[in-house]
Amino acid sequence: MLISNQMTFSEENYLKTIYHLTSVSDADISTNAIAEKMETKASSVTDMLKKLSEKDLVNYVKYQGVSLTDKGKLAAKMIVRKHRLWECFLVEKLDFSWDEVHDIAEQLEHIKSEKLINKLDDFLGNPTEDPHGDPIPDANGRIIKVEKQLLSEFEKNQIGICVGVKDTSSDFLKYLDKQEIALGSQIEIIEKESFDSSFRIRVRNKEITISNKIASNLYIK
């Protein structure tokens, strides 16, 4: 599993971005979509895709978009694995809050030692999800998927457990902390407003109103 040892930080970042984009769409990913996500120029993306294609990490045809090869998919999963394990370590062992860890993990995910990451995995008890509820690939790239749906899809009187967040931005996570909504929180739908699709919910024995935007970023099962 030494694929990532032959990649630069930049190549790893591109590979991870393509992986995340393909996880929400089955279609090939456009260079513009990658450029927008990475806040760079389309011409820079094209140059990088050529390099990744030469390394057999992506399938790239000009003007037709890009997809990951099996080799590229596995390499991307290993980067995601490192990122999410480091997030677990920072939250569980160093008492960071879940809104602080993403940027730090962005740096730590580039550490090359496979032995270190496997020992970190064992040290943490082989977690299957990160602090935001996202799945952690194992050492072979396998992912245990959790059945979940967005809170916005729930109806009145339904009850579920918060198992993840779609938006992992610091602002959103801080908002959830203020409302005392965390992974494992039981959420009961008291009312769903037909006018603006906002929700009246009960969480930790208190009732609060949340917008449809908030509900559209909370995963429940």
- With a CB cutoff of 8 Å and minimum separation 6, the contacts of 145 are 135
- pLDDT at 26 exceeding the cut of 90: no
Query: Looking at residue 201, what DSSP letter applies?
Result: E
Please give the pLDDT value at position 6. 77
The two tokens of residue 88 are 């677990």
Rounded CA separation 164/177 (Å): 14
Domains contained in the chain, CATH given: 1-145 (1.10.10.10), 149-220 (2.30.30.90)
The closest alpha carbon to 202, from 219, 184, 185, belongs to 185
| Banded pLDDT at 63 (limits 50, 70, 90) | confident
- Give the pTM: 0.85
Residues counted in the chain: 221
Task: Name the average pLDDT for the chain.
Answer: 93
Rounded CA separation 63/20 (Å): 20
Cβ–Cβ under 8 Å, residues 133 and 84: no
- With a CB cutoff of 8 Å and minimum separation 6, the contacts of 66 are 18, 28, 29, 30, 31, 34, 49, 58, 59, 60
